[in-house]
Structure formats: structure tokens, C-alpha cells
């Protein structure tokens, strides 16, 4: 879970009002205006430091000098704010912050301070009479079974909790929150550039399905008029409403923290660490990062856990890597137009570089660390090499935009009400012989899920066919309109608003490809609809549309295959499923790019000014030791109409030294033909100019 070292006309107006009453702050957040992020956030190269209150200035300065030499631009500072602190102990933390912040700024860096808002650690809490839970038993989250959300060390994969340490997860509805808000304000006033808010969620380690404390139940009744649920029952509308309500409560809590911090320091950044990303753990934990997509005041850092706390991604299989690709691309999608940060854990430079490549190729800013701890590095020379290259290429990496013409529509509602938290689905491979593996429970495998397997299976097909694509989540009409094709895998549950957006997309000439039974058969709270929501699929019968419909006079199309083609393709790369997906896609998505190598190479296509950027990532050696370490990849790329190519170069941090060199090219019939040397990761830079611009 955590990885700290202690570690979503008048008739239209009525619809909006009704939606706000039903869904609370979710739509309010979606309506928030976008504001430009501070420039340092949009150029961040992040690393962590573990600090202690009595740390000498000389040690602080030495550690900062090392980070500067390694190319770091933002320091994540981690002191003892995780711990159950007296007022005097908290004052010592503030004094450390003031000293450290001043030193950071003298070094030319920025600092964000780690603060877990809901987890409180009590060292020796197992044996000591003093602990958060022992002194405040009524202030912790309560699970569905009535047990307090408290646990002690020696838990599997909970490396941040020492064996005798107590971890208490606090209730949003307790007096603790007022103390937290007061302390947040004081931290914000120390001169920090940002607050790092660690995983604000309803943890499930101590007690599953929190929070059902008396005050939480009272708040649910006040908000909805419903009594809190007493058992897991996905057929019960009260249970499903409670699932949605928990997301709203976490989101509202985060916004309250941001407002408190900015009330004393208007320019302070609020960066929320999100561990659920695109997987099914969001349902259990109540944290859906996509709810902050349009919240200008909330940045996010996405913790893409690796397979093993001791082996990183070194034992990854092909479908595990597909999951990593999905997480990296979802992180960017759910951040909207704001910068997004992402952990790039690894165990050695080889797996670390590949994770880093997936993060930055999707447009995320890297937090470099050696798994599983935040205040570590795979190696100083590795970090310096990677971060130096990223600094040199930051305009291309972070001021570029996707040039993909295909999008996958991610449905948070289908995640919740189809998969029903029956397994996390973070990766595909489960193990019982590695206690530090992400899961030893077979049902956690993405292969065993329905919605998530269909979604990841479509990602796999696109990756293996070298089709550039984006993920879209909680989109607006402008975002959808950028794509020729929107793929909606297993889109079973959807709100009226989002169904209307997809219908408008088709009516405007877009091509919607849907898979799986019962498209749009459930509403935003998982209730069965009497008629399907998507008019573009027609309303003849109970969602039996399997062909093509063209609504009105639009040139758009909506195509539906009732089978779970993505899941079939994910499980076995089924040739039949692959052919069926190809038949759905190809009429509307001609190939932008083709390469002559195997399915393992992941291609990203982006643009920045007069440059086209092709990212090539080759992770195959992780699961196939006989795969070549280096390849020469033949690439054929469509050149946009009206431009001509003036030069092609390739650059890579895979050195040392990093390679930046021109390569030969030719343009034949509107296609650029090149041969790219590839060792793990390379970025091809294609310089263009408007045709006849020299005249």
C-alpha cells in the first residue's frame, strides 16, 4: 500500500441541479477551472530525503549537494510527521522544516513535505500504554465487521511499519481532523513549496470496508437520507450509493486540506499521492484520482507499485508490463491538463530505466527511487544520467502533446459495479513463493477480473499492434473530439451525462467501438436501466446490437461486439479475439505507424512545436532472456499533410553516454522511413516545417 519509509435550456439546468443533489461534490469538482501550475511543478525531477529533527545543518547541506549533483529539482522531505506527536514534538518538526526549507532554496531546489493525513504511527504502540488508538479509540475508522482500522507491524508488504509499531487509520468524522487541519496550516507557513498528502483513503489492512463508525454512519444518513449498510450486497442500492459516497468524502477531505494550506500560503502546492491508479483497489479504498482531474488546486503523484519489493520489475511477464503501461497512461489521463508525477521504482538500472521510460513517454514527471522505499535511489550515477538527459529533453517530454488518434474510455462506474472489488487486478502474475510479491492471491490477477481485464486487454492489443493511443477518463466533449476512434471496453455502467457525451461524439462524426455484454445497461450507481443509455447503439431490444448504426445523418459510427474480446486477448493473445478486435478497429483507424519488430515494443507518438516525437520502449528481456539487448527497428510513419521532414535524430538515456545523433531517413509516398537503434528505450526526434515554408 503506502511506500513511505514509514509509510474523481431550463431542462438541462434541472438535470444539473438534480445531479448535484445526488452525487454531491463530484460534479462540482469537474466544473472547476484549470489554472496553470507553477513552472517548477511542470519541470519536476523528484527524489526523497529522510530527515530527523536534530539533523545538523552540515548533513543537510551535504545531502542537498548530492541531490543537486544528481540532477534532482524537487525534494520530497520525509521527517516524523507520520508519528503520533505531542505538541512539543510537532514544534521540533516545524523548526526542522524552517531550517531545511531555507537550505533547499539556497541550493536552488524546491521542497514538498510528506504528510500522511489519515495514518498515525505510534512507535512501540504494541507494548507502550501510549498510542493513538489506546488514547483515542473513538477516533479511528471502523470496518464493516465493527473492528477498528488498526494494525501492528510484521504485516506482509507493510515495510513502513516496524514490528511493534501501531498503525491507526483515522476517521474523517473525528476530532482528529481539526488537529490535522491546524497542523497542516502551520506546515504550510514554514516556507515549503508544496505539501505531499500521502494516500488519503479508507485503508483495508486493519479493517475492510471502512468507515462505518457512528459518526460516519450519521454523515451518510445526513447526506443521503439512507441508513449505512451492514453487509456487502451489490444488489442493494444503499450499498452502491455508499460506495459512491466514500469517493465524495475522500475528495471533499482533500479539498479541505488544500483550502487550509492555501489560507496561510496561497502559492503552496498540494500534491496528493495516489496508489489506486486504474485498478480495482479504488473501490475498496475509496480513493479515485480521476475525481481531481479538473481540480486546479490538486496535483497528483501516482504510486505505480512494482511487482516485488525486492525484485522490482525484473520478474515481470508480458501482461504485467501491459499493466504498467496502463497505469502510466492512466496517471496522465486522470491528471487532465495539469502536470502529473509518477513513482519510477526499480531494483536495478535495467528495470528502473524501463519503468522510467513508460512514465516519461506518457508525459509524467519521474520520482526516482529503489523499491520499496521513497528516500532511496537505484544509484547516484544512474539517477544523474537519467535526470541529466530528462533535463536536456524536458521541453520535448513535458511540453509535448499526444498525437494519438485512438482513445480508450475508462469507466470508474464499470470498475466499481462490474468488478465489485473482487480482486485488485494490479498485475497479472501472482506468486506464493515471494512474500514481497504484490499478491499471492490468484483472484487478484487482472486475468480473473471482468471490467479491468477487458480494459487491459484492449491496451494489450493496441500496444502489440503498435497503435498510439491515449486513455480518457471523465472526459468532456473537446477531449473526445480529438480522436478518430474511442474504444469503450465493457462499458456496462455509465452516467446519463457521459452517455450523452458519447452520443454527441458519434453524432459529430466520431467512431465508438464497444465490447462486452450489456453496454450502458447500468446507471452511474450500478442500477439496471429500463432502456440503454446510448442512443447511438439503438434501442431495439435489450442491448443486442452487434452491428453498425449511423444515427441521423452523421458520418459517425457506433460498433458493438457483445463478447469480451479484450479479456480473451489478454489471457492468451487469442488470434480469434485479435482478429475480431482488428475488424472492429481498422475501418476507422488506419495505421499511423508501423514497425518491423515484435509485439513487445511499445510505441508512443507525441508532438511539440515543429517536432514529431516517437518513443520506442522494449521491455522484452525482462521475461525473455534470449531477446536481443539491442535492435535496429525499421519504422514507417505517416507524415501529416502540409509538412515536410527536415531532419531525424535519435536520443536515449540508455548510455552511458546518452546517445544523441542524426540518422538517415527517406520519405516515400507520404511516409517517413527510418531505422532506429534501440536499447531498452529511445526517443526519435523528427524535425518538420510547413511545406514550401522557405518560399
pLDDT tens per residue, range 161-205: 888 999 999 999 999 999 999 999 999 999 999 999 999 999 999
Long-range CB contacts (< 8 A, 24+ apart) of 517-521?
517/492, 517/543, 517/562, 517/564, 518/492, 518/543, 519/488, 519/491, 519/492, 519/543, 519/545, 519/560, 520/491, 520/492, 520/493, 520/494, 521/492, 521/493
Mean pLDDT of 385-400: 96
Comma-separated ranges of CATH 2.60.40.1180 domains in the chain: 593-690
Mean pLDDT of 426-450: 94
At 259 the three-state DSSP class reads helix
Percentage of the chain beyond pLDDT 70 is 91
Does residue 432 surpass a pLDDT of 90? Answer: no
Say what angle helices 349-361 and 318-334 make with each other, to 10 degrees.
Answer: 40
At 406 the three-state DSSP class reads strand
The residue behind cell 457506433 is: 558
What per-residue confidence (pLDDT) applies to 113?
98
Topology of domain 593-690, CATH? Immunoglobulin-like (2.60.40)
Confidence tier at 341 by pLDDT (50, 70, 90)? very high
Confidence tier at 313 by pLDDT (50, 70, 90)? very high
Contact between 662 and 684 under an 8 Å Cβ cutoff? The reply is: no
What per-residue confidence (pLDDT) applies to 693?
53
Higher-confidence residue of 2 and 289: namely 289
What per-residue confidence (pLDDT) applies to 572?
82
Mean pLDDT of 299-303: 98
CA 32 to chain centre: 20
**Whole-model pTM above 0.85?**
yes
Does residue 484 surpass a pLDDT of 70? Answer: yes
What per-residue confidence (pLDDT) applies to 15?
31
Mean pLDDT of 520-546: 75
Does residue 308 surpass a pLDDT of 90? Answer: yes
> Concatenated DSSP letters for 528-549?
BPSS-S-GGG--SSSS---SEE
What per-residue confidence (pLDDT) applies to 343?
98
What per-residue confidence (pLDDT) applies to 155?
64
Confidence tier at 654 by pLDDT (50, 70, 90)? confident
Does residue 74 surpass a pLDDT of 50? Answer: yes
Comma-separated ranges of CATH 3.20.20.80 domains in the chain: 10-399
Top-tier CATH class for 10-399: alpha beta
Comma-separated ranges of CATH 3.40.50 domains in the chain: 406-585
What per-residue confidence (pLDDT) applies to 457?
98
What per-residue confidence (pLDDT) applies to 24?
37
Contacts of 373 (CB under 8 A, 6+ apart): 3, 4, 5, 159
Take residue 452 and report the three cell numbers written for it: 479491468
Residue pLDDT, tens place only, 443-465? 999 999 999 999 999 999 999 99
What per-residue confidence (pLDDT) applies to 692?
73
Confidence tier at 61 by pLDDT (50, 70, 90)? very high
Percentage of the chain beyond pLDDT 90 is 83
State the maximum Cα–Cα separation within the chain, in Å, rounded to a whole number. Answer: 83
Range 222-257 burial, b when 16+ CB lie within 10 A, else e: eebeeebbeeeeeeeeebbbbbbbbbbbbbbbbbbb
Report the range of poorest mean pLDDT among 120-134, 501-515, 680-694.
Answer: 680-694
> What's the chain's average pLDDT?
91
Burial class (CB in 10 A: 0-12, 13-18, 19+), 478: exposed
Mean pLDDT of 491-517: 94
Top-tier CATH class for 406-585: alpha beta
Does residue 271 surpass a pLDDT of 60? Answer: yes
In this structure, the number of other CB atoms found within 10 A of the CB of residue 447 comes to: 22
Confidence tier at 350 by pLDDT (50, 70, 90)? very high
State how far the Cα of 199 lies from the Cα of 263, in Å rounded to an integer: 22
What per-residue confidence (pLDDT) applies to 157?
62
Does residue 25 surpass a pLDDT of 70? Answer: no
What per-residue confidence (pLDDT) applies to 586?
86
Report the range of poorest mean pLDDT among 162-166, 178-182, 241-245, 310-314.
Answer: 162-166
Does residue 13 surpass a pLDDT of 50? Answer: no
Amino acid at each position: 500500500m503506502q511506500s513511505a519509509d514509514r509509510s474523481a435550456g431550463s431542462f438541462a439546468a434541472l438535470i444539473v441541479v438534480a445531479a448535484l443533489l445526488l452525487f454531491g461534490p463530484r460534479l462540482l469538482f469537474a466544473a472547476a477551472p484549470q489554472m496553470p501550475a507553477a513552472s517548477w511543478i511542470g519541470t519536476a525531477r523528484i527524489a526523497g530525503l529522510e530527515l530527523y529533527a536534530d539533523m545538523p545543518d552540515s548533513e543537510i547541506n551535504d545531502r542537498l549537494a548530492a541531490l543537486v549533483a544528481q540532477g534532482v529539482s524537487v525534494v520530497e522531505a520525509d521527517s516524523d510527521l507520520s508519528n503520533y506527536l505531542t505538541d512539543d514534538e510537532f514544534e521540533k518538526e516545524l523548526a526542522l522544516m524552517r531550517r531545511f526549507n531555507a537550505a533547499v532554496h539556497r541550493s536552488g531546489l524546491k521542497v514538498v513535505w510528506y504528510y500522511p493525513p489519515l495514518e498515525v504511527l505510534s512507535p512501540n504502540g504494541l507494548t507502550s500504554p501510549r498510542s493513538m488508538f489506546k488514547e483515542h479509540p473513538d477516533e479511528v475508522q471502523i470496518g464493516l465487521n465493527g473492528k477498528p482500522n488498526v494494525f501492528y507491524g510484521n504485516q506482509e508488504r507493510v515495510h513502513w511499519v516496524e514490528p511493534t509499531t501501531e498503525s491507526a487509520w483515522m476517521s474523517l468524522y473525528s476530532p482528529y481532523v481539526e488537529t490535522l487541519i491546524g497542523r497542516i496550516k502551520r506546515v504550510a507557513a514554514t516556507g515549503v513549496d508544496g505539501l505531499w498528502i500521502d494516500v488519503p483513503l479508507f485503508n483495508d489492512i486493519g479493517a475492510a470496508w471502512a468507515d462505518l463508525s457512528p459518526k460516519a454512519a450519521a454523515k451518510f444518513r445526513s447526506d443521503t437520507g439512507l441508513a449505512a449498510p451492514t453487509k456487502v450486497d451489490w444488489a442493494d442500492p444503499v450499498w452502491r450509493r455508499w460506495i459512491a459516497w466514500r469517493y465524495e468524502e475522500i475528495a471533499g477531505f482533500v479539498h479541505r486540506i488544500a483550502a487550509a494550506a492555501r489560507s496561510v500560503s496561497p502559492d503552496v502546492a498540494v500534491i496528493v499521492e495516489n496508489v489506486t491508479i486504474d485498478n480495482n483497489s479504488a473501490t475498496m479504498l475509496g480513493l479515485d484520482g480521476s475525481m481531481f482531474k479538473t481540480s486546479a488546486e490538486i496535483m497528483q503523484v501516482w504510486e505505480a507499485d512494482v511487482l516485488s519489493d525486492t525484485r522490482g520489475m525484473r520478474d515481470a511477464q508480458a501482461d504485467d508490463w501491459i499493466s504498467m503501461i496502463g497505469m502510466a497512461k492512466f496517471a496522465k489521463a486522470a491528471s487532465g491538463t495539469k502536470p502529473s508525477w509518477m513513482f519510477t521504482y526499480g531494483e536495478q538500472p535495467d528495470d528502473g530505466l524501463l519503468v522510467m521510460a513508460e512514465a516519461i513517454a506518457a508525459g509524467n514527471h519521474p520520482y526516482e527511487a529503489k523499491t520499496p522505499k521513497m528516500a532511496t535511489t537505484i544509484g547516484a550515477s544512474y539517477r544523474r544520467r537519467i535526470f541529466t538527459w530528462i533535463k536536456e529533453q524536458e521541453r520535448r517530454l513535458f511540453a509535448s502533446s499526444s498525437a494519438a488518434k485512438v482513445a480508450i474510455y475508462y469507466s470508474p462506474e464499470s470498475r466499481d459495479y462490474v468488478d465489485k472489488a473482487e480482486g485488485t487486478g494490479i498485475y497479472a502474475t501472482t506468486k506464493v513463493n515471494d512474500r514481497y510479491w504484490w499478491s499471492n492471491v490468484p483472484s487478484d490477477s487482472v486475468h480473473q477480473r471482468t471490467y479491468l481485464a477487458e480494459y487491459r486487454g484492449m491496451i494489450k492489443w493496441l500496444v502489440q499492434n503498435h497503435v498510439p493511443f491515449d486513455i480518457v477518463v471523465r472526459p468532456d466533449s473537446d477531449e473526445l473530439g480529438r480522436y478518430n476512434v474511442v474504444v469503450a471496453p465493457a462499458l456496462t455502467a455509465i452516467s446519463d451525462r457521459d452517455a450523452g457525451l458519447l452520443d454527441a461524439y458519434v453524432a459529430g462524426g466520431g467512431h465508438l467501438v464497444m465490447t462486452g455484454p450489456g453496454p450502458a445497461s447500468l446507471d452511474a450507481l450500478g442500477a439496471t436501466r429500463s432502456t440503454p443509455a446510448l442512443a447511438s447503439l439503438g434501442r431495439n431490444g435489450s442491448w443486442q446490437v452487434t452491428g453498425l448504426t449511423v444515427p441521423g445523418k452523421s458520418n459517425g459510427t457506433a460498433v458493438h461486439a457483445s463478447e469480451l474480446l479484450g479479456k480473451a486477448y489478454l489471457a492468451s493473445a487469442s488470434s480469434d479475439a485479435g482478429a475480431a478486435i482488428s475488424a472492429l478497429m481498422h475501418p476507422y483507424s488506419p495505421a499511423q505507424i508501423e514497425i518491423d519488430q515484435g509485439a513487445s515494443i511499445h510505441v508512443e507518438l507525441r508532438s511539440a512545436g515543429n517536432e514529431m516525437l516517437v518513443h520506442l520502449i522494449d521491455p522484452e528481456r525482462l521475461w525473455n532472456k534470449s531477446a536481443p539487448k539491442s535492435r535496429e527497428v525499421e519504422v514507417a510513419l505517416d507524415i501529416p499533410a502540409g509538412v515536410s521532414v527536415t531532419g531525424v535524430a535519435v536520443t536515449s538515456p540508455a548510455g552511458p553516454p546518452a546517445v544523441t545523433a542524426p540518422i538517415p531517413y527517406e520519405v516515400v509516398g507520404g511516409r517517413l522511413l527510418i531505422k532506429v537503434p534501440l536499447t531498452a528505450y529511445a526517443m526519435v526526434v523528427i524535425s518538420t516545417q510547413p511545406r514550401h515554408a522557405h518560399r
